[in-house]
Amino acid sequence: MVVLHVKSAVPASPSQDGDEETEFLYECAASAAVADVAAALAALAGLQAALLSLCRRIQARCAGAGAGAGATGELERALDEAEAYASKEQVQRNRFLSPRALREHIKNIEKKCATALHEPLEALPLQGSSSDNKHERKQIWWAGKELAMDQKLSDYIGVNDKTKIVVRLTQARDER
């Protein structure tokens, strides 16, 4: 299996300047279609960005709400675990992100947040603006080249399945 070290810039929150770069590892076959890999990477990057954004929003809300330490202890623990799971440090430890685990962290945080802040889940503005739309059309770059969606990964890196490459995931340009 080919290991892709994916670097992706996600828009920072309005209170921060510039974009925040996220990183994660992804494993696929060398014979995989670039379009399939791009779709999987876009989905994973979207989930990672959504989880990190959710953690930041809830931490800001908890700091502003001034909830008691006992009520937010489990929530803070869940936020810390989620941030650690989705952090760049997982790349240094050679750990891959799982879409299922990212979704479980999001659900767990939503449940703990509703409990700690004593509000119904529907009343909490936890979901940001449709993050799926901004991750739909992504493009993969490797070695300064834009990978064509109609090619296979092996057309660029060869057939060796024991390869590790660093790729950049960017927003696809509109074709005219």
Q: What is the pLDDT of residues 21-48, one digit of tens each?
A: 899 999 999 999 999 999 999 999 999 9
Please state which of the ranges 22-36, 97-111, 113-127 shows the lowest mean pLDDT: 113-127
The reply to whether 113 falls in a domain is: yes
The mean pLDDT of 74-85, rounded to a whole number, is: 92
Is 0.75 topped by the overall pTM? yes
Domain span holding position 38:
2-8+23-122+137-171
* 13 within some domain: no
What band does 62 get if pLDDT is binned at 50, 70 and 90? confident
pLDDT band of residue 124 (cuts 50, 70, 90) is low
Identify the residue with better confidence: 9 or 31: 31
Task: Specify if 66 maps to a domain.
Answer: yes
Q: Please give the tally of structural domains in the chain.
A: 1
* Structure confidence at residue 107 (pLDDT): 92
Bigger pLDDT: 64 vs 116:
116
In-domain check, residue 100: yes
Q: Which residues of 97-117 are buried (b: 16+ CB within 10 A; e: fewer)?
A: beeeebeebbebbbebbbebb
pLDDT of residue 73: 83
